[in-house]
Amino acid sequence: MTASAAAPPPRSDTRLAVSIRDLKKEYVLAGGTVHALRGVSFDVPNGDFVSIMGPSGSGKSTLLNLLGCLDRPTAGEFFLGPDNVARMSDDELADVRATRLGFVFQSFNLLPALTVVENIELPLHYSGRFGVESRHRCEELAGKVGLGDRLDHRPMQLSGGQQQRVAIARSLVNDPWFLLADEPTGNLDTSTTREILGLLTGLNQEGRTIILVTHEPEVADLTKRTVVLRDGRVVYDGPPDGSRAALESSRQV
């Protein structure tokens, strides 16, 4: 177990995809302040495959929003490679989102009017990187996720698993520093879940850094490391098979 109080000081180490120290997030509401994250610290080395778990309300989505540069912490440090994201302007955050991060969502978030290859291309338009080679690259990515023969299909013509494959190809198109996946198999049946996890595992074996949020221990078991949150704090950080006790005691609280 890793206690956040014992964490070393923040590092601007390029071997780390992510380094967070004493990260706090508070939501100020009319009825009082919600302490969603109460000082979270951990490092994610390049090439890691991390699952984030914890009961409802423990702060997983809040942490994912911060890691995804969709929101800023109330306090603490967040290094993305060498840069301290916690101090960036809105424009800089948008730039980081568009160029350094790949997102995979539970609900796929594909645009229904666009074809497979056009959906994969979309982040290149947002990041201003669309060029003459782009179509070829996107076709290659479609092939990589097993959809090379579906380039002109629209999302409605695909199964849930195939739609998530498109979303994974789209998340790779900017060659991001890491992938953030929010319950990526939450809408899929067991065998499709296995296929998608196989795809993510393969990407990690090729060197992709992946951080995913999941409620399912079977999904976490396929990652290299599990971080368990409870009440806005890290209560476990270690091998997935050792997280069961922390999760069980979280449920009993």
- Of 51 and 162, which CB lies nearer to ligand ATP in the complex structure? 51
Q: How far is the CB of 144 from ligand ATP (least distance, A)?
A: 30
C-beta of residue 160 within 8 angstroms of C-beta of residue 212? no
Verify binding: residue 46, ligand ATP, rule CB under 6 A.
no
- Per-residue tokens: 106: 């539970």
Rounded to whole angstroms, the Cα distance separating 180 from 178 reads 7
The stretch among 3-11, 51-59, 119-127, 218-226 that binds ligand ATP (CB under 6 A) is: 51-59
Tokens 């999760």, residue located: 247
Verify binding: residue 122, ligand ATP, rule CB under 6 A.
no
Q: Within 101-243, where are the H helices?
A: 116-126, 134-144, 160-172, 190-205, 217-220
- Per-residue tokens: 138: 């996107």
Phi, psi of 116, rounded to the nearest 5 degrees? -55, -50
Per CB under 6 A, the list member of 10, 54, 102, 161 interacting with ligand ATP is 54
The stretch among 53-61, 134-142, 162-170, 198-206 that binds ligand ATP (CB under 6 A) is: 53-61
Per CB under 6 A, the list member of 56, 89, 191, 252 interacting with ligand ATP is 56
Q: How far is the CB of 132 from ligand ATP (least distance, A)?
A: 42
The stretch among 58-66, 130-138, 153-161, 239-247 that binds ligand ATP (CB under 6 A) is: 58-66
- Of 67 and 203, which CB lies nearer to ligand ATP in the complex structure? 67
Verify binding: residue 230, ligand ATP, rule CB under 6 A.
no
C-beta of residue 153 within 8 angstroms of C-beta of residue 100? no
Closest CA to 220 of 51, 36, 30: 51
What totals of helices (H) and strands (E) does the chain contain, helices first?
8, 10
Rounded to whole angstroms, the Cα distance separating 243 from 225 reads 9
Verify binding: residue 47, ligand ATP, rule CB under 6 A.
no
Q: How far is the CB of 236 from ligand ATP (least distance, A)?
A: 14
Per CB under 6 A, the list member of 1, 12, 13, 27 interacting with ligand ATP is 27
Give the CA-trace dihedral at 232, 238, 250, 184, to 10 degrees.
Answer: 80
Q: How far is the CB of 56 from ligand ATP (least distance, A)?
A: 3
Give the distance, in angstroms, between the CA of residue 151 and the centroid of all CA atoms in the same chain: 25
Per CB under 6 A, the list member of 24, 34, 130, 186 interacting with ligand ATP is 34
Rounded to whole angstroms, the Cα distance separating 251 from 253 reads 6
Verify binding: residue 59, ligand ATP, rule CB under 6 A.
yes
Per CB under 6 A, the list member of 2, 61, 134, 187 interacting with ligand ATP is 61
* List of residues contacting ligand ATP (CB under 6 A): 27, 29, 34, 36, 54, 56-62
